[in-house]
Chains A and B, each alone.
Chain A
Amino acid sequence: MRALAVARFLAADAIRSRRVLIPVFLYAAVLAVLFGGDPGPPPAPWAASALALYPIAAWLALTVANTEDPVQRTVTVAASGGHLPVAAGTLLVALAGDVVLSLLSVVWPVVATGYPHPPGLLMEGFLGHLACASTGTAVGLLCARPVIGRIGWSLMVAVFVVVVTGVQPWLPPVGTSVAALEAGAGTSPVAFGALLGLVLAGAAAGVSAAVARRL
């Protein structure tokens, strides 16, 4: 369970660095605007917040993965027994952020708007957000150190990938999940999207560990 210890360490470092707070606050502002007036009945308004969460989650994962100094990272890797626990710990922190932001997105309109939100609908909204967030995590991890070492390139590639993949309604998991929320298509498509997103995020962490080993 060294991955958990790594996750706690990286989370403590990331929170102290304040840099992870920027995407979180930005996303809170997006939610405040989206659900401020009358957004209409759920789940359609969640399509917009889920789509907004995609780049936010990529930003968050990139920040978490890049927070630690590279020399400090060699100590962390030696102490935790390899690159895999470190990559897994990074993934856990990013996914924890995804879950928190997804929950926030679902709870916000319950509090801020007067529409009824039955549990099934809440689950649909949560899974739709999780699908976009975990895919964003995958993109963020693939654009961060050690896969892409320079922050300029990281940002360019991340923005490019998010913009290109985020606007295709047929493309799983983000496009299909956003489309499903917009159409109110039920839990199955978003559940599939969330599962696929989590698999992608796990694979991205694996790629990250494999690349780190070769350095």
Chain B
Amino acid sequence: MPVRPGALRLEAVHKRYGRAPEVLAGVDLAVAPREIVVVAGPNGSGKSTLLRIAAGSSRPTSGRVRGRAPVVGYLPDRFPAQLRMPAAVYLRHLAALHRENAAAATESAGELLEALGFVGSTRTPMSGLSKGNAQKIGLAQALCCSAGLLVLDEPWSGLDAPAAQVLLGRVAAAAQDGASVLVTDHTGTAAALPRARHLRLQGGELRPSPPQPNGPAPLVVVELWCPLDPAEAAAALAPFVRAAPAGDRLVLHVPVGRSDALLRAALDLGCSILSVTPAARDAPR
């Protein structure tokens, strides 16, 4: 089924629960078709509330939401695994709610689950699934319905690295197919999304923000030859993230910011620098 897009606009959205202070204090946000908006913010800053309102499962206390696409794919933070129905049955029902062809949705969900490394059976009750596998079912129901608006609340939490990569590709592909995409992310994975707009929610207001770096600073691999025992040299050159003695050479992983100081110390010790290379992004730490 083709994606029927919508130009989502939140206008002066306020949200208050009971008498507590406002969670959202006048949020204006537009997400155009093919656009990806990533919202960051500290815990309890109202990101989930904002996403629930965008997805249409909650209403603002005041303000308006316009232009929501007719089909919304929504993944809540912590997708629950309490249903007694099997995942396959759940996905069929959700496809019907999304007005998506059941056979097409089942096929694309099966393919996505396989790509995400879903372990377990889609024919046994969902309540038996692990947290990560339940999350993958949640992703499948949101991503396999040709949604014009995709609202994903912390979709990368609980996913292992290969699944996180697959999800990056699927989110980018959904945007390319015409969907408006709104995601929150505290893992830093969303920084790798192409052409995403990054916003930060703080004090109930949205502000532009640079993308969150992908975890700690990237590493540099320094290869040394030292005139003394590698273990002794390593002790003298601490701190570093990881040391791997390789024969008579010493291979050290250090954060980018510390590499110059380490090289200076190595030269002072009388070591020779054999190579300095950036570490692979997914190198174990």
Which residues of A approach B to under 8 Å, CB–CB? 2, 5-6, 8-9, 12-13, 16-17, 69, 71-82, 213-215
B80 touches A71 (CB 8 A): yes
CA separation between A215 and B58, bound complex, in Å?
A: 6
CA separation between A85 and B151, bound complex, in Å?
A: 20
CA separation between A73 and B83, bound complex, in Å?
A: 11
| Of B52, B58, B85, the contact of A16 (CB 8 Å cutoff) | B85
CA separation between A16 and B126, bound complex, in Å?
A: 12
| Of B56, B76, B97, the contact of A9 (CB 8 Å cutoff) | B97
Instruction: Describe A's contact surface by its main secondary structure.
Output: helix
Interface assignment of B94: CB less than 8 Å from any CB of chain A: yes
Which residues of B approach A to under 8 Å, CB–CB? 52, 55-59, 70, 72-76, 78-80, 82-85, 89, 93-94, 96-99, 125, 138, 141, 145, 151
Residues from chain B with a CB closer than 8 A to the CB of A75 are: 57, 74-76, 79, 94, 138, 141
Residues from chain A with a CB closer than 8 A to the CB of B72 are: 78-79, 81
B59 touches A214 (CB 8 A): yes
B56 touches A12 (CB 8 A): no
CA separation between A80 and B70, bound complex, in Å?
A: 9
| Of B59, B78, B85, B141, the contact of A79 (CB 8 Å cutoff) | B141
B82 touches A78 (CB 8 A): no
| Of B83, B89, B145, the contact of A72 (CB 8 Å cutoff) | B83
A-B contact pairs, 13 of them (CB 8 A): A6-B97, A12-B93, A16-B84, A71-B78, A72-B83, A74-B52, A75-B94, A78-B55, A79-B73, A79-B94, A79-B98, A79-B145, A82-B56
B85 touches A12 (CB 8 A): yes
**Given A2-B97, A74-B52, A12-B89 contact (CB < 8 Å):** yes
A80 touches B97 (CB 8 A): yes
CA separation between A75 and B126, bound complex, in Å?
A: 15
Residues from chain B with a CB closer than 8 A to the CB of A77 are: 56-57
A78 touches B56 (CB 8 A): yes
CA separation between A82 and B74, bound complex, in Å?
A: 12
Residues from chain A with a CB closer than 8 A to the CB of B97 are: 2, 5-6, 9, 76, 79-80
Chain A, Cβ-Cβ closest to B99:
A2
Residues from chain A with a CB closer than 8 A to the CB of B82 are: 69, 72
Residues from chain A with a CB closer than 8 A to the CB of B56 are: 77-78, 81-82
Residues from chain B with a CB closer than 8 A to the CB of A79 are: 72-74, 94, 97-98, 141, 145
Chain A, Cβ-Cβ closest to B86:
A16
A78 touches B83 (CB 8 A): no
CA separation between A72 and B52, bound complex, in Å?
A: 12
CA separation between A149 and B34, bound complex, in Å?
A: 39
CA separation between A16 and B83, bound complex, in Å?
A: 9
